[in-house]
Amino acid sequence: MKTPRSWKTSAIALALAGVLGFSVAKMNPHLLPEAAASAQPVAAQAVTGVASPQMALPNFSEIVSRYGPAVVNISVTGQVKTANRAQQSPGVDPDDPFYDFFRRFGIPGPQGGGGEQAQPLHALGSGFIISPDGLILTNAHVVADASEVTVKLTDKREFTAKVLGADKATDIAVLRIKADNLPTVKLGEPASSHVGDWVLAIGSPFGFENSVTAGIISAKSRSLPDEGYTPFIQTDAPINPGNSGGPLFNLNGEVIGINSQIYSRSGGFQGLSFSIPIDIARNVEQQIVAHGKVTRGRLGITIQDVNQALAQSFGLKTPSGALVSGVEPDSPGARAGLKAGDIVLKLNGKTVDNSSELPPAIAAMAPGADAAMQVWRNGKTLDITAKVGEAQDTRVAAANPTQDHGRLGLSVRPLSPDEKQESGIAGGLVVEQVAGPAAQAGIEPGDVVLAINGTNINSADQLKSLVSKAGDHVALLVQRGDARIFVPINLG
């Protein structure tokens, strides 16, 4: 889960950057990645009428009983790059995590210089099943840098999951496990939810599996720094590290959001939690499953919110719309005639009340579609239609290569021509991801496998064939930087 640190509300409304090519004027917050978290369904029975001391609180047990089994725990292993303390002074401190690499591989420690080192990654989060054949939604930050993802169901079954894709812009990841007839959640419509409605989350805060918490929707369409594509649902349901990726349920037992971030000065819950609307998540999921990537529209404009002072300055009766503060040269917005100082009041006939509504709306449009806008300029309205462009930062990161890890636990690829020229290595395979026996032996992403049991390796198929014929032990000749050494691996 991510944690936005404390911020002050800016007099200048939060400007949103869109996948749309929007740049955004931000408040002054800092978003910190929170320990992978997961949250889960919300259960309750409808409550109507005005609250009174006699009114009973909703009972969430039925929702938990019915949809709780579709909420999963996610554990991740992998490696992340960190600053290498060992390279900042002569030798390697035995307490430094990188010390184990040199000890294991028998390579002399560095004698100074900068660089990075790989640190083991172990993270926990949550997710939920949306199809009986094993399709799962979670947060992208939960599975970031993962070499292996394990999904655990409430009945204690465990599966190795394949990450079909992870979209950092919306913090959505799509997983697949090989299973049938799985329990699933029911998806709802965030637009039908209201501020003050009860919601429920299920997840694994601090590793406490299948914990249930409840609260209310505190606000909708909430903007956060660097998150221009997502109009977050804000709640006061207790969410903590380990809840990330879990579902947020309404009283009908429908998932309306994915728990993603919290506002905290301590790293723990402080009354402000933020969830990604499920309709945005579903759009990302459908694109990843169908095309392997996410395509978003863009206008190439910078916007900000309109406060009372700005409304008066521009002659608007009420503070609403999205104020254009900048237009990229030769962008879709520029070609359509948008100018700095324009205020977008409507998009395709729908009123734009806040600037936070415009980026996700444009992002959801297909490149080439027409964006019909009603714009306020020089004290009067005019209609402008822009041909939506395509955002350039829409490449989806796949956490699992298409090639199977196999017995070794390696995903590999041939060296590129540039890599061969730079390294002077004629053959071999670059390690893309590592898990299982190879990870335990100390192999890392970026290593080059040159040979197995003395036989030079030139293709992934050759490596797979030789491993399949090997016994319980193999020796890989590995090159890392300028060092080359045989690494024994136990396959038994």
Q: How far apart are CA 211 and CA 142, in angstroms?
A: 18
Say how many residues make up the chain: 492
Amino acid at 181: N
Question: Environment class of residue 216 by beta-carbon count within 10 Å: exposed (0-12), middle (13-18) or buried (19+)?
Answer: middle
Q: How far apart are CA 185 and CA 256, in angstroms?
A: 11
Structure token digits, residue 352:
């734009």
Question: Environment class of residue 31 by beta-carbon count within 10 Å: exposed (0-12), middle (13-18) or buried (19+)?
Answer: middle
Q: How far apart are CA 376 and CA 382, in angstroms?
A: 7
Query: Residue 356 half-sphere exposure, CB side, CA atoms within 13 Å?
Result: 16
CB within 8 Å of 462: residues ≥ 6 apart: none
SS3 state of residue 460: helix
> Locate tokens 């395709």: which residue?
348
Reference 283, options 152, 145, 394, 401; nearest CA is 394
Reference 126, options 141, 112, 116, 113; nearest CA is 141
DSSP string for 63-118:
HHHHHGGGEEEEEEEEEEEEE-GGGGSSS--TTSTTHHHHHHHTPPPP-S---EEE
Is 141 designated active site? yes
Is 171 designated active site? yes
Contact at 8 Å (CB) between 34 and 241? yes
Q: How far apart are CA 376 and CA 397, in angstroms?
A: 39
Is 126 designated active site? no
DSSP-derived pairing of the beta strands 455-456 and 410-414: unpaired
Q: How far apart are CA 128 and CA 67, in angstroms?
A: 9
Catalytic residue among 147, 244, 260, 331: 244
CB within 8 Å of 313: residues ≥ 6 apart: none
Catalytic residue among 23, 38, 96, 141: 141
Catalytic residue among 145, 167, 171, 447: 171
Q: How far apart are CA 32 and CA 100, in angstroms?
A: 29
Compute the CA torsion angle 97, 101, 107, 111 (nearest 10 deg): -20
DSSP-derived pairing of the beta strands 254-262 and 211-222: unpaired
Compute the CA torsion angle 479, 481, 482, 487 (nearest 10 deg): -30
Contact at 8 Å (CB) between 246 and 127? yes
CB within 8 Å of 324: residues ≥ 6 apart: 301, 302, 303, 333, 338, 339, 340, 341, 342, 343, 344
Active site residues: 141, 171, 244
